Amino acid sequence: MDATTHAAHLHETHDAHHEEVGFLRKYVFSTDHKIIGVQYGFTALLFLLLGFLLMACMRWSIAYPGLPIPVVGGLLEKLFGSDVAAGGVLSPDLYNSFGAMHGTIMVFLAIVPLAFAAFGNYVVPLQIGAVDMAFPRVNMASFQCYFLGGVVMFASFFIPGGAAKSGWTSYSPLATMADLGHRFDGQTFWLIGMVLLITSSLLGAVNFIATIIQLRAPGMTWMRMPFFCWAQFVTAFLLLLAFPPLEAAGIMQLMDNLFGTSFFLPTGLIVAGNPVDVSGGGSPLLWQHLFWFLGHPEVYVLILPAMGIVAEIIANNTRKPIWGYKSLVYSAFAIGFLSFIVWAHHMYVTGMGTKISTFFQTTTMIISIPSVIILTCLFISLWGGSIRFNTPMLFVLAFLPMFGIGGLTGLPLGFNYSDLHLHDTYYVIAHFHYVVAPGTIFALFAGIYYWFPKITGRMMNETLGKIHFWLSLIFMNLVFMPMFAQGMAGMLRRMYNGGATYATTDGEVGLPAAILKANIGVTHAAFFLGLAQLPFIFNFFWSIKNGKKVTSDNPWDATTLEWQTPTPPPHGNFTKPVVAHRGPYEYSVPGAATDFTPQSEPDKKH
């Protein structure tokens, strides 16, 4: 349990019996789940930043269409050429590229790798008392595929024609027809990148499930697993089974782009006034089906790991067990199953028949039940606790209502008749960003603040953390709340000029001035939201070297097994065989010496 000696040597944690390995083997081609987790974390955070910067450029164009982007405008013109960024003004084409890539990067290269791969890799084996993942080399390959996928996506910005510009959903036939002038266009890069990312998450998912099934420590029965591991387990199944159909669709769209097939191109397709020389006979709806068959489970891939992190931190900081542990587990499973049969609620406006719409509407309403059960359990867990308001807990406490807003505003989108009006408006943007941005990303921030001391042996600065939290909370809401109003007023998404084309001044059909004016406020809030991340970035790097050293391996007085390892954990994790003797959240057990009883602590009666 003596950590201080270990904590001091972040970069030299070699036990005597471990052979020395070179820098490359240790940090680049590592098979250690913890290093891979950190690799994933760093790469994903970089992509998170990139995704944010793309969005910032888009926000400028929405608020001030036609005006050069301040500060980075000149750079954009240099990078992308004066035909798409003349004088630092975002052209509609470049706006489309940025939009498509913002979504792709945020979902597939930032949030999922961070929530599932980074936290999962680092924490899950520790929490179940395993020495590593079941297939360490597969794990390494998973990261390498991810990295390569990221490189391909990033490189696509700089090829002739620019990156994919058909939205993150890449609907056919637009995706195939958007850039007919270039054979290897941005969309082709996008598809190749996606195939690599899908391979990566497939390898990751196989590894996670096999690890959780096979490598739980003695005594770590299924119902003694921390909820975080359960969440990752279900998430891994979603990735395993929902991604392959998108891979199939990706292969088919690649065939459409490169070999002239017509999987998603209908008969009689006319582009720019000319019939396209293809056989036709394909179905654009098929792409949408296969895309959303992944797309909807993906939403739960984004949120379940976040819920797992939230449960861990709530139990730790309320100093009492999670309320309704079993309900949480069963709800996670119910979400997992149901998430596979709700996908077509993204497709109400495609003209599906009423019967099938009703089916998907019904399943969509049903899936909100387990989500609400989880949120309710987490809320009730706060009741009667003596809450420690540290930075991770603040983020978690904000997660609850923010995710609540995101979830509840989803209901009108799940009903097909209200969706007809709201579909493709800013209301949708606001809804899913409330789920993912102040929802998932807040939980991820909480996770970083919470597990940082285990990874580095040092605490992150609390004051900076609180500044980061309060500013983020305020500006997140200022960014996304007005979008609900804009969407309900009928403002469509994906317009580079923020709907200025539809401006109306005399009260006739169109967008009233007040709605358009909100664009400017939202854009400023987004810039301030970016500034609010500076304390975090500074805190993160500063604390690696200069943060307050932890005085024990278990600085938060937590019960789960990851805190029973040395800090940081060496290769192989545990210094002595670990056995789980109790459930994951035994806080404030009456009669116990401390207000927490670690899972590895044997019962006194024996």
Partner 1 sequence: MEIPYTVEARNDTGLYNAKVGIWLFLASEVMLFGALFSSYILLRVGADPGTWPHGLLNIPIGTFNTAVLITSSVTVVLSWAALQMRNFAKYRKFQAITIACALGFLGIKTFEYREKFGHYEVWLKNPITVKHGDKEVQTDRLLGHIEFQGTHPSFWSTATLAAKQVESFKFEPDPFHYTMTAREMAHAKKAAAGKPHEVIEIKSADVKRLSAFVPAHSTYFGIYFTLTALHALHVLGGALVIAYLWGPGAKMWKTEPERYINRVEVSGLFWHFVDLVWIFLFPVLYLL
Partner 2 sequence: MGHSHSPSHSNAGSADHAQEVARHVKVYITVFIALLVGTVVTVALNYLHFESMTVTVAIALFVATVKAFLVAGYFMHLISEKKAIYAILVSTIFFFAAMMYLTVWSRGQLPWGTRYLSSPTPGAPAGQIGH
Rounded to 10 degrees, what is the CA torsion of 161, 166, 167, 170?
Answer: -120
| Beta strand extents in 361-516 (DSSP E only) | none
Residue of 10, 53, 131, 485 interacting with partner 1 (CB under 8 A): 131
Residue of 13, 91, 169, 283 interacting with partner 1 (CB under 8 A): 283
Question: For residues 84 and 99, what is the distance between their CA atoms, to the nearest angstrom?
Answer: 14
- Residue 22: is it exposed, middle or buried by C-beta count within 10 angstroms (0-12/13-18/19+)? exposed
Q: Are the C-beta atoms of 354 and 390 separated by less than 8 Å?
A: no
The SS3 of residue 243 is: helix
Question: For residues 4 and 447, what is the distance between their CA atoms, to the nearest angstrom?
Answer: 22
Q: Please, which residue, 92 or 295, has the CB nearer to partner 1? A: 295
Answer with the entry of partner 2, partner 1, none that 355 interacts with (C-beta below 5 to 8 A by kind): partner 2
Two tokens, residue 90: 């975002």
- Segment 223 to 242, residues that bind partner 1, using CB under 8 A: 240-242
Residue of 80, 104, 129, 132 interacting with partner 1 (CB under 8 A): 132
Binding mask 302-341 for partner 2 (x = CB under 8 A): -----------------------------------x--xx
Two tokens, residue 492: 């469509």
Q: Please, which residue, 340 or 528, has the CB nearer to partner 1? A: 340
Answer with the entry of partner 1, partner 2, none that 255 interacts with (C-beta below 5 to 8 A by kind): partner 1
- At closest approach, how far in Å is the CB of 356 from partner 2? 4
Residue of 207, 288, 486, 564 interacting with partner 1 (CB under 8 A): 207
The SS3 of residue 503 is: strand
537 scored as a contact of partner 1 (CB under 8 A)? no
- At closest approach, how far in Å is the CB of 170 from partner 1? 16
Residue of 289, 319, 524, 582 interacting with partner 2 (CB under 8 A): 289
244 scored as a contact of partner 1 (CB under 8 A)? yes
390 scored as a contact of partner 1 (CB under 8 A)? no
Binding mask 74-103 for partner 2 (x = CB under 8 A): ------------------------------
Question: For residues 351 and 341, what is the distance between their CA atoms, to the nearest angstrom?
Answer: 18
Question: For residues 107 and 116, what is the distance between their CA atoms, to the nearest angstrom?
Answer: 12
- At closest approach, how far in Å is the CB of 451 from partner 1? 21
- Residue 135: is it exposed, middle or buried by C-beta count within 10 angstroms (0-12/13-18/19+)? middle
Two tokens, residue 78: 């240099």
Question: For residues 382 and 346, what is the distance between their CA atoms, to the nearest angstrom?
Answer: 35
Q: Please, which residue, 148 or 278, has the CB nearer to partner 1? A: 278
Residue of 92, 136, 324, 510 interacting with partner 1 (CB under 8 A): 136
Smallest Cα–Cα separation from 227: which of 299, 313, 301, 318?
A: 313
Helix boundaries (H) for 489-605: 513-532, 534-546
Residue of 283, 376, 552, 588 interacting with partner 2 (CB under 8 A): 283
Question: For residues 322 and 301, what is the distance between their CA atoms, to the nearest angstrom?
Answer: 22
Name, in order, each residue with C-beta under 8 angstroms of 426's C-beta and a sequence gap of 6 or more.
Answer: 483, 484, 486, 487, 491, 492, 493
- At closest approach, how far in Å is the CB of 504 from partner 2? 33
Answer with the entry of partner 2, partner 1, none that 14 interacts with (C-beta below 5 to 8 A by kind): none
27 scored as a contact of partner 2 (CB under 8 A)? no
- At closest approach, how far in Å is the CB of 285 from partner 2? 7
Question: For residues 481 and 22, what is the distance between their CA atoms, to the nearest angstrom?
Answer: 50
Question: For residues 334 and 370, what is the distance between their CA atoms, to the nearest angstrom?
Answer: 7
- Segment 263 to 282, residues that bind partner 1, using CB under 8 A: 263, 267, 277-279, 281-282
Answer with the entry of partner 1, partner 2, none that 352 interacts with (C-beta below 5 to 8 A by kind): partner 2
Return the range that interacts with partner 1 (CB under 8 A); candidates 83-91, 167-175, 570-578, 584-592.
570-578
Q: Please, which residue, 238 or 313, has the CB nearer to partner 2? A: 238
571 scored as a contact of partner 1 (CB under 8 A)? yes
Q: Please, which residue, 363 or 409, has the CB nearer to partner 2? A: 363
Asked if residue 218 has a cis previous peptide bond (ω within 30° of 0), the answer is no
Answer with the entry of partner 1, partner 2, none that 324 interacts with (C-beta below 5 to 8 A by kind): none
255 scored as a contact of partner 1 (CB under 8 A)? yes
- Phi, psi angles (nearest 5°) of residue 490: 100, 15
- Phi, psi angles (nearest 5°) of residue 363: -65, -35
Q: Please, which residue, 356 or 531, has the CB nearer to partner 2? A: 356
| Count of residues in contact with partner 2, rule CB under 8 A | 22
411 scored as a contact of partner 2 (CB under 8 A)? no
| Count of residues in contact with partner 1, rule CB under 8 A | 47
Question: For residues 166 and 101, what is the distance between their CA atoms, to the nearest angstrom?
Answer: 9
215 scored as a contact of partner 2 (CB under 8 A)? no
Q: Which helix (H) or strand (E) holds 229?
A: helix 227-259
Answer with the entry of partner 2, partner 1, none that 341 interacts with (C-beta below 5 to 8 A by kind): partner 2
Answer with the entry of partner 1, partner 2, none that 263 interacts with (C-beta below 5 to 8 A by kind): partner 1
Smallest Cα–Cα separation from 300: which of 359, 385, 242?
A: 242
356 scored as a contact of partner 2 (CB under 8 A)? yes
Long-range CB contacts (within 8 A, 24+) of 529-534:
529/471, 529/472, 529/475, 529/476, 529/478, 529/479, 530/52, 530/56, 531/471, 532/467, 532/468, 532/471, 532/472, 532/475, 533/52, 533/468, 533/472
- Segment 2 to 31, residues that bind partner 1, using CB under 8 A: 18
209 scored as a contact of partner 1 (CB under 8 A)? yes
The residue ranges that bind partner 2 (CB under 8 A) are 213, 237, 241-242, 245, 266, 283, 285-286, 289, 293, 337, 340-341, 344, 351-356, 359
Note the residues at the interface with partner 1 (CB under 8 A).
18, 131-132, 134-136, 138, 202, 205-207, 209-210, 213-215, 240-245, 247-249, 251-252, 255, 259-263, 267, 277-279, 281-283, 286, 289-290, 293, 571-573
